[in-house]
Amino acid sequence: MTAPRYTFRCRHLSLLALPLFFTGCVDHWGMFEADDLGDVPREPMMRAQDPVGPVQPPPSFSEAAVQTGPERYELSVEDAVFMALRHNRNLRVQELQPVIADAFVLTERGIYDPELFVNYQYGEESVAETDRGTGSAFSVDGLDYAAEAGIRQRLPTGTDVELSVQQDRSVSSRTPEEQEARVGLSITQSLLQGFGPAVNMASVRSAELARDASYYELAAFTESLMAEVETTYWQYVLAREQIAIFERSLAVAEQQRNEIETQIEIGTLPQINAAAIRAEVARRNQDLIDARSLAEERRMRLAQLILPRNAPLARTRIEARSVPTVNPEPITDGPERVDLAVQARPDLKEAEMELAQNRLEVVQTRNGLLPRLDFFVDVGKTGYAQSVRRAFDDLGGETYDATVGFEFNLPLGNRAAKGDALAARASHDQALESLRNLQRVIELDVMLALNEVERLRQQIDATTATVELQRQSVQAEKDRFELGSGTSLQLAQAQRDLLEAEIAHSEAVIQYRIALVDLYLAEGTLLERRGVSMPMPLR
């Protein structure tokens, strides 16, 4: 009896390991090829890396090198960007999105985790019965114990597997004690609706696509943040330059006012010449006040984007070290830049992930139109005895039970499934049209950015010439005024024109730098151009 008992137990241990074998295969079920869904771009299957960590500046960046005091920073534009990558609070919030999306992947894969179950029941009864032969009444007391343990698992093929071990004990005051043991295996296979990994792994694949999309969303947000930091930095530089221009202009106006007032006092000029120059001094002072206020506003905006959480916005000083010198050259590779943008823009990649998710939804809802047809088989071996051990020993006997069958379900009309399929197809078509529209918008973004870069390139040359000519005009008006053929009003107007020309030139140079940032953002290459790498989905 020992050898058969050993053989039986080993055989059932191998059955217990069967669901664990399938569990190890869950991550490796082959993906489906979608049916013909129209003009749909087929993206290679993608697997993201581990959840993304904080986006960090390059190792060469040292924050201590740019902090020249407890509340003072001297920053280049690159330093400002790197500080934003390290300290920006909105970026820290956005970095958690891939972690959340990856958690949903685990949730979807958890559907196919094996489940261990245990069930125990206890019951007792006391009844009165009558003996048919003697007619006398007697009582019957009984106890029932039932225990069951096993493991069950759902597989991506549409299969439900359950392996269980049961033991029942019955004790009665009128009959001998009975022990029953059973080992059973139950398998249910979907044959139509719910059949195959193509349908059952769709939710897992959809969660993986959502996770991949979250990486592209983070990349798009990081690029947008970097562009905002660079733009704010250059606007702050422009505001500081305008302050310097207004201060120089005010100093010149005050000097001329003093000279005119001196000439009025000695009688070489009439009193009416003082009004125009005094008004001009007041106007320059007014412009200087506005310029200082604008610079402070842009300093605070830049500080909000880049400073650590504990740095006070009101007291922290920021000195911009980058000089907006440019040597602009014409850009002649517009079509190539459009092609690059179609390949590199993270928002387009995110839209492609959304389209792939909608394709999966179409596959799922199309399968939902099928009727439900399940094949099931339930087999077991049973042993009977008056003790637990003998009952399990008796499992090697000839007693068994087996059930095989089919179950069919079909909702009449099936309107819910038809509605889901129609909505999924419409959502897929909508996502496809949105993707095509986004491709067109990206082309427009790049071309508009190129047009703005070229405009500002030409404006730099034009404003440079204008400044030089206005300086000559001011000198001519000054000579005419000294000779008595000009007025202080004409001189003030010429100086005002020079001031406007200098400001226009400064704005053209700064706006050209900003336009380049906008161009790189439209191309989707700003991260790469600034040397910032991010974990992305792997092809």
Beta-carbon count within 10 A of 179 CB: 21
Tell me, yes or no, whether 287 and 415 share the same domain: no
Strand partners, 178: 170
Query: Mean pLDDT of residues grouped by 10 in the chain (539 residues)?
Result: 38 45 47 43 39 58 66 88 89 89 91 94 77 70 86 95 88 72 91 92 92 92 94 94 89 84 81 83 92 94 89 85 85 91 92 93 91 93 70 72 92 91 94 94 96 94 92 86 75 84 92 95 92 68
The pLDDT mean for the chain works out to 83
Q: How far apart are CA 527 and CA 532, in angstroms?
A: 5
SS3 of residue 433 by DSSP: helix
**pTM metric for this prediction:** 0.78
How many domains is the chain built from? 2
Tell me, yes or no, whether 483 and 468 share the same domain: yes
Size of the chain, expressed as the number of residues it contains: 539
Tell me, yes or no, whether 404 and 436 share the same domain: no
* Digit-coded pLDDT (tens) for 189-214: 999 999 999 999 999 999 999 999 99
* Digit-coded pLDDT (tens) for 94-111: 888 888 998 999 999 999
Tell me, yes or no, whether 338 and 439 share the same domain: yes
Q: How far apart are the first and last CA of the chain?
A: 59
Q: How far apart are CA 243 and CA 291, in angstroms?
A: 6
- Confirm whether 57 is domain-assigned: no
* Digit-coded pLDDT (tens) for 259-293: 888 888 887 778 887 888 888 889 989 999 999 99
Beta-carbon count within 10 A of 76 CB: 14
Tell me, yes or no, whether 281 and 353 share the same domain: yes
Tell me, yes or no, whether 234 and 247 share the same domain: yes
- Confirm whether 101 is domain-assigned: no
Nearest to 400 by CA among 8, 1, 3: 8
Q: CB of 173 within 8 A of CB of 138?
A: no
Nearest to 508 by CA among 538, 463, 450: 463
Tell me, yes or no, whether 241 and 262 share the same domain: yes
Quick one: which H or E segment has residue 403? strand 400-409
- To the nearest 10 degrees (0 to 180), the angle between helices 488-523 and 273-306 is 20
CA atoms within 13 A on the CB side of 47: 4
Strand partners, 119: 148
- Confirm whether 132 is domain-assigned: no
- Confirm whether 184 is domain-assigned: yes
**Which pLDDT belongs to residue 39?**
45
Tell me, yes or no, whether 294 and 432 share the same domain: yes
